[in-house]
Amino acid sequence: MNVLIIEDEKNLAQALCRIMEEEKWQATAVYNGQDGLQHATQYPYDIIVMDIMLPGLNGFDIVKELRNQKMDIPVLMLSALDEIPDKVKGLNVGADDYMTKPFSPAELLARIRVLTRRKGEVIIEKIEFGDLVLSLSTCELECNGKSIHLAYKEFEIMKLLMYHPKILTSKEELINSVWGNDSEAIDNNVEAYISFLRKNSSF
């Protein structure tokens, strides 16, 4: 399962990522509406979990745009707006479900399972390019019959590169996608990860 989380409260976004990862799902967090819409339209996610009150572009507008583009990806709105008119509006613009904060992680996971099951639960298990095979469920990278287990950031970098193998990805794009605002993402660290992946993708 590949989940996109659009949430401007970064601590909550990271907590949601951890909840998903405990289920062995892949989770990507973005922190504003424009980035959320861009990710939703460019990358293959199985479900979107999003806030409504987002900087730049609100959740209602994101869902409307996705539906205008004929994208039927399940959308679960997770918001502090708990009035009935807000819930009705969210569902009317095209969201598949609506939960209010604070929420139960168990209920959230149950609702996600229901929504993906309704859509046929089409889950991408692996990405292949040339001799490389990346498992999205085990984080294993295979090449020529050999495999290694990738750590979280190694996996996220390789996943991004293999989704778009013929597109040049800049260092800044890697940092924004994998590290966000994490101060760990200094140039030397990024280059070290890339060096490791180059070395180990040829075995």
Between the alpha carbon of residue 6 and those of residues 31, 52, 58, 96, 195, the distances in Å are 6, 9, 10, 15, 30
95 in the same domain as 42: yes
Q: Are residues 58 and 112 in the same domain?
A: yes
Alpha helices, DSSP H, located in the chain: 10-22, 33-42, 59-68, 84-93, 105-118, 152-163, 171-174, 187-200
Residue 199: predicted pLDDT? 80
Q: Do 177 and 78 belong to one domain?
A: no
Domain boundary among 118, 144, 178: 118
Give percent of the chain with pLDDT exceeding 70: 91
DSSP state of 128: E
| Residue that terminates a domain, selected from 101, 118, 135 | 118
The pTM (predicted TM-score) of the whole model is 0.59
Of 1-5, 12-16, 63-67, 123-127, the poorest mean pLDDT is in 123-127
pLDDT at 49: 98
In this structure, the dihedral spanned by the alpha carbons of residues 99, 9, 5 and 31, taken in order and rounded to 10 degrees, is 140
Is the pLDDT at 99 greater than 90? The verdict is yes
Whether 7 and 88 share a structural domain: yes
> What total of structural domains would you count in the chain?
2
For residue 121, pLDDT over 50 is answered with no
